[in-house]
Amino acid sequence: MRLLTLLALATVAAGAYQFQKSRRRQARKALTDAQLARRVRAAIESAVANPGGVEVRMHGNTVTLRGRVRKEERDFVLAAALGAPGVTEVRNYLEIDEPAGEIGTMQGGIATGI
């Protein structure tokens, strides 16, 4: 009976040791928010003409994007941010730069008539 108890204790101790070892390994692999933000910025730089116009904030594995981008670049920015290693969620608060287009006579403040 004592042998069985010792064997059970040794098994529990070995399991606890392996658990702690795997936790230490995961802690070394985990990246800080600043490191993830640098990775996201590097990925965005290749997708945008003006990467300084995009603000990147990290909280855990979630990236929040703010700023102004051209309409054609928005999807590339979002894909680059989500594709960065370590990112699991992207919150999109990007504003789109769109050309003003042609303003009609009534919108321009000029009324024609009598």
**Alpha carbons 36 and 26: distance in angstroms, whole number:** 16
Contact indicator for 75, 81 with CB cutoff of 8 Å: no
Distance CA 62, CA 70 (A): 23
Residues 21 and 70 grouped into a single domain: no
pLDDT value of residue 90: 92
Same domain for 43 and 65: yes
pLDDT at 63 (0 to 100): 92
One domain for residues 2 and 38: no
Q: Are residues 63 and 17 in the same domain?
A: no
Residue 63 and residue 56 in contact, taking contact as beta carbons nearer than 8 Å: yes
| pLDDT of the residue at 27 | 56
The answer to whether position 108 is within a domain reads no
Provide the pLDDT for residue 64. 93
For the chain (114 residues), the mean pLDDT of every run of 10, in chain order, is 73 72 60 85 84 87 90 89 88 84 55 50
35 and 1, same domain (yes or no):
no
> 55: which 2 tokens?
């603000």
Mean pLDDT over the full length of the chain: 78
Predicted pLDDT at 104: 56
